[in-house]
Amino acid sequence: MVAKIISRDETGVVMEVRVNFNNSMLDSEKNLQVALNEAGVLASGELLETFDANGKPLQFGSVTMTSKGKQNCFYQTPYGEIEVARHVYQTNKGGKTFCPLENSARIVGSATPFFAKQISYKYSDLGASRVSEDFSENHSRNIAKSFIQNVADRVASVAQAHEESWNYITPKFDEKVTAISIGVDGTCMLTVTDGWRQAMVGTLALYSKKGDRLHTIYLGATPEYGKETFLSRMEKEIEHIKKLYPKALSIGIADGAKDNWTFLEPMTDKQILDFYHASEYLTKVADAVFPNKKAERDQWLEDACHRLKHNHTGPAVLLKEMIEFRTKHLGDDRRKILEASITYFKNNKKRMKYAENVAKDLPIGSGVTEAACKVIVKQRLCNSGMRWKEEGAACVLSLRTLTYTPGRWEQFWNRIDKNGLQLSA
């Protein structure tokens, strides 16, 4: 044994730790990790005992529970497994038992809260196998994949149970929030039962007067979760943010999908079609109209994109110009491309006030939402060979949106620390 307790009192313990050095810094550091883990196990055991009841009867309203005596139980900590003798209570009629230590210490399954926090954070980014490898390689801690999955599921169940009811505190900023960019989008993920289905992603980004993004809130939902339920969550987030910043301009930014605008129009002061989707249609027009004239094509496209972005009359002029291109001799395929672009501009011209937004340092692109589709969904749920059941994917997305929204992960765990996992009941 390389660690031992020298003394203890009601405020803590004093420990002695022996670390063996040798000629290899790497090996010596590994020895240090082992020694610290052993010390952590000893200290955690002492710490857990402070959360136990004293064995006297407990009263819950009209229900009295008495101790069945101390029973040994194994708990998992960041440093290793510990065995603790703790009181277990039950009524005189039998039935479900109650462990005060597990309730007071906020035990998650059999994991201490900090260990559960570590596991669920890592699981939000990595599969259970990789999380297990990470703990083994970087923490000298061997954990079963099934245990990792179980802990992550328990933590996510609390997050999911309160997605509709909990409001998280938005960070304070040195600069004033003058604009709120709101976006929704869908991206496909592979499910076990139904093949490729669309998961939903939503973002609320806060901007300063200079156009700097100060903060972003991320939301996500699995395909089976239901688009309407997801949009109701988005609506709640939007209402909350608008109350915090009532003078900020709310801007809905999305691609040309009709469903997006059906939701965003009544929820925002202004709507902007994603500039890069619009410019993609200009690229298609350039390819169709100047198929064998690269220099002329590139020049027209560069000029068209500049006018679209910086000229107040740019969208209308470009639409007129595309209509005039109809007189050119185009094949059927290229003409279809031109007509599709004309229709796109006609349907979205009222949302193409790019020059106005650029002049006021307001956003014109849905890059935040597009990036969220990739980061929140694709990078975690769409790796090679992955297929998901609803419960597993929902677990990951709940954890992932909490960890990617600045400040929410700590707030989430502060609630658990204060109130316990019974919040999910």
Residues 287 and 226 in one domain: no
User: String of b and e for 56-75 (b: at least 16 CB within 10 Å)?
Assistant: eebeeeeeebebeeeeebeb
Residues 325 and 209 in one domain: no
424 belongs to a structural domain: no
- Residues ≥6 apart with Cβ < 8 Å to 45: 82, 83, 84
> What pLDDT sits at residue 235?
94
Report long-range pairs for 266-271 (Cβ below 8 Å, ≥24 apart): 267/182, 267/235, 267/238, 268/182, 270/353, 271/350, 271/351
> What pLDDT sits at residue 175?
95
> For residues 270 and 320, is the Cβ–Cβ distance under 8 A?
no
Residues 149 and 214 in one domain: no
Residues 147 and 202 in one domain: no
Residues 270 and 373 in one domain: yes
> What pLDDT sits at residue 203?
97
> What pLDDT sits at residue 424?
39
- Residue 186 phi, psi (nearest 5): -125, 150
> What pLDDT sits at residue 425?
36
Cα separation of 308 and 315, whole Å? 5
Cα separation of 394 and 282, whole Å? 38
Q: How many domains does the chain have?
A: 4
Cα separation of 245 and 150, whole Å? 39
296 belongs to a structural domain: yes
Which tokens belong to 410? 């700590």
User: String of b and e for 285-303 (b: at least 16 CB within 10 Å)?
Assistant: bbebbbeeeeeebeebbee
Task: Say how far residue 206 (Cα) sits from the centre of its chain.
Answer: 17
pLDDT (tens place) for every residue of the chain, 425 residues total: 689 999 999 899 999 999 999 999 999 999 999 999 999 999 999 999 999 999 999 999 999 999 999 999 999 999 999 999 999 999 999 999 999 999 999 999 999 999 999 999 999 999 999 999 999 999 999 999 999 999 999 999 999 888 877 889 999 999 999 999 999 999 999 999 989 999 999 999 999 999 999 999 999 999 877 788 899 999 999 999 999 999 999 999 999 888 899 999 999 999 999 999 999 999 999 999 998 888 999 999 999 999 999 999 999 999 999 999 999 888 999 999 999 999 999 999 999 999 999 999 999 999 999 999 999 999 999 998 899 999 999 999 999 999 999 999 999 999 999 988 764 33
Which residues partner with 98 through β-bridges? Answer: 89
DSSP element (H, E) containing 15 = strand 12-17
Alpha-carbon torsion 235, 240, 243, 249, what sign? negative
Residues 28 and 124 in one domain: no
**pTM attached to this predicted model:** 0.91
Least Cα distance to 92 among 134, 47, 62 occurs for: 62
Identify the domain boundary among 164, 197, 219.
164
> What pLDDT sits at residue 163?
80
Domain CATH code at residue 243: 3.30.420
DSSP element (H, E) containing 272 = strand 270-273
- Residue 415 phi, psi (nearest 5): -65, -45
Residues 281 and 350 in one domain: yes
Which residues partner with 180 through β-bridges? Answer: 206, 250
Residues 26 and 124 in one domain: no
94-98 β-sheet, strand order = 58-60, 63-76, 81-91, 94-98
Residues 45 and 94 in one domain: no
β 249-254/177-191 pair status: parallel
Residues 321 and 284 in one domain: yes
Identify the domain boundary among 164, 189, 208.
164
Cα separation of 421 and 414, whole Å? 11
Residues 313 and 389 in one domain: no
Residues 234 and 182 in one domain: yes
Which residues form the domain of 31?
3-49
419 belongs to a structural domain: no
Cα separation of 123 and 393, whole Å? 12
User: Which residue blocks in 168-293 are alpha helix, DSSP H?
Assistant: 227-244, 258-267, 275-289
> What pLDDT sits at residue 227?
80
Cα separation of 156 and 392, whole Å? 10
